[in-house]
Amino acid sequence: MVQAIGSASVANGFRTDVSAGVLEAQLNRFQVQLADWCNCPSGKTPEGKAKIQQIQNKADAVKAQLERIAATKATQSSASDQANVAPSTRTTTTGTFLDTFA
């Protein structure tokens, strides 16, 4: 019996918990493969066109994942910025008096 370890999820054959750096490396690799297939005479055949479409679909999926990560980071950053704003009505008087009878 095989059991999954951890909480890695898989969507469309791609892990959804990978870092942006890994996704960018995958995207670069897919772009190189696309360029190779498009410039190769085999890319003009029906099998080559199918392979090009397959690689393009993988590249599109990685791009979508990168966009989701960027949107998530932007949302988290915005929420973090709002949480770090000090309330303007809060005033403290601690430490403002000076003892001159020393």
Longest dimension (CA), the chain: 96
DSSP letter at 85 equals: P
pLDDT digit string (tens) for 26-59?
999 999 999 999 999 999 999 999 999 999 999 9
Q: What percent of the chain has pLDDT over 70?
A: 59
Q: Give the Cβ contact number of residue 8 at 10 Å.
A: 10
Average pLDDT of every residue of the chain: 76
Pick the more confident residue, 80 or 76. 76
What is the CB-side half-sphere exposure of residue 8 using CA atoms within 13 A? Answer: 11
For the whole prediction, is pTM greater than 0.75? no
Domain boundaries, the chain: 10-71
Query: Confidence class of residue 19 from pLDDT cuts 50, 70 and 90?
Result: confident
pLDDT of residue 5: 47
CA-based radius of gyration for the chain: 26
